[in-house]
Structures are given as C-alpha cells and as structure tokens.
Structure 1
C-alpha cells in the first residue's frame, strides 16, 4: 500500500527550540561562580552569547543575595528560552521576604524612582546595588512568594526573576 504525505499546515508556534535548565546550588560562596559558569555554558550552547555578559552579571547578583539573605538553605537557578531571542532567569531561595521593589510589577516603578535609587547607590556604600543593577539592565523583572501554606507545612521561599531580550541594530533584520 502506498501512502501519501501531505504538507502540514504551518504551526502557530514559532520555529525556535524551547528549553529550560535548572541548577541546584548548595549554600556556599562558590555557588555564585558555579552559577555564572553554568549560565554562560547554557547561553553559548543555545547561541545566545550576545546576552551572556548581562545575564551572568545579573544572575551573579541574585545568587549572591540568595547566599547572603537565605543562610539556611540552598539556591535554585532556572534558565529558560522564552523566544528565539528572549531569556528568563529565576532564582529561588528559602527566605520568603521579597525585597522592594521586586514585590511590585516593573511597570509600577517609575523610571525616575530607579534613577533616584541609582543616584543614592552611588554613595560610598560597598553593598546594596545588586537588585538595582537587575532593574537597570533587565527588560522585565519581578518576584513572588512560593509555597506559603497557612498550615505552615511545605517549603517556602521566593522567586526573583528577570528577562533579557536581544535587540537587533536598525539594519539587523535586513542583513
């Protein structure tokens, strides 16, 4: 019997590969370096090297905060390709406190507020600029509580996340 194969209708999904990676990191200062190396390897492997420097910087800041402010547990990093040129990185830790302004949607934070925080951070302080870097460099960012059960059972904590997108130059599409 002979079979005929007809062309399939175009898929509504874009023709990019969907992917996600998770890293479970122990509570150790070395985990920050491991997260940077693993993230760079993932982005290089998926052809997203143009986002690597910014993503590594922002992830390093978020994992460092996790190490500093959630001393009783590990850190988890999740990296996902959202679109052909868009990336989301989420960092989970066991501390349920979502730092300001990650407890609000990015659209609710006026650019002037971020600029004012940047000016304030330009003082002689040696810490406290990590999440400000995320706000200034990411295309989108936020945070949400995880697993807070009224009964007190189950794991708790928070996710802080950011997204980056590759931007073509004015002639990038025509090239």
Structure 2
C-alpha cells in the first residue's frame, strides 16, 4: 500500500455575510486553516491583515464579502478579500485609478490598512468592472506572505 502525500498547494474560500461578526469569523477561519496546515509562523500577521480587510469590507459596503486563502507551490500564502465596493484603498491602489488615501497618523480610525506594507511581502488590488446586472462587481484586494522574500512593493495583479 502506498503512502498518501499531502499537496503543497491548497485553497479555501469563505463567503461572509454583511455582519459585524464577519471579521471575527474570518480570523477564526484563518487560524483553523493555517494551524491545520502547519503554517504557524505566518498566523499572527495573516490573521491581523485578514481581519483588517474583512472589517473594511463590512464598514464600507452594504453587501457580502468573500475570503480566499491559497497556498502557492513556492511556499507563499495569498489571501484575497472581495467586496462589492469598487474603490481601491491605499496602499493597494496605483494612481491614477480610483484610490483612497491612507488617513493621517493622528486619525481616530482608518489606519489599519497601513499595516499591510509592514506585514505583507506583496499586495495589490483591482476593480472588477461591471457585473452582468449593470452594477459594479466590486474589487479584490490581496496580499501575500511567506515563500521567497521579494521587495515589499504593491502589484496590480497576483
């Protein structure tokens, strides 16, 4: 009888309703998935950044969000969060397209996405255009950690 070898790559997806508990559910999911796959070195940073992205999706949209965790063959972990709003916040966007700036350091709120350059190895985002129903399809924001270290710079596409 042969042995079973676990794959190096995997993906998990979670649909999140517009609910104030969505960030907590996303954190619990990240913790379960990364713990189950022995990726504890990245757990704290991935949990933090995922919580920020999902929390922003709740605060700035009236609809659901989706979370996708993907282990890539080279050891990187990619986290993507989709929501229904097309505006790309800093630091994910690239001028001149629709970019929301980071708030000042002394602002009472809104500084969470500024953690992305501190904890992620790469990140990016893009608007998803129009849906067949004539409404905006929202945006996808993503970040990566782990694998071969590269300069920490934003990218438009993964």
TM-score computed with the length of structure 2 as normaliser: 0.78
Whether 2:80 is the aligned partner of 1:90: answer yes
Instruction: Determine the structure 2 residue equivalent to 1:112.
Output: none
- Structure of higher CA gyration radius: 1
Measure the CA separation in 2 of the matches of 1:66 and 1:136. Answer: 20
Measure the CA separation in 1 of the matches of 2:135 and 2:111. Answer: 32
Which contiguous aligned blocks of 4+ residues in structure 1 show a shift greater than 3 angstroms?
Answer: none
Counting only pairs closer than 5 Å after superposition, residues 45-124 of structure 1 correspond to structure 2 as: 45-70=36-61, 72-83=62-73, 85-104=75-94, 120-121=104-105, 123=106
- In structure 2, the gaps of 5 or more residues are 1-5, 96-101, 150-158
Measure the CA separation in 2 of the matches of 1:167 and 1:101. Answer: 22
Instruction: Determine the structure 2 residue equivalent to 1:24.
Output: 15
Instruction: Determine the structure 1 residue equivalent to 2:143.
Output: 162
Measure the CA separation in 1 of the matches of 2:26 and 2:91. Answer: 24
**Structure with greater helix percent:** 1
Task: Give 1:131's match in structure 2, choosing from 97, 113, 121.
Answer: 113
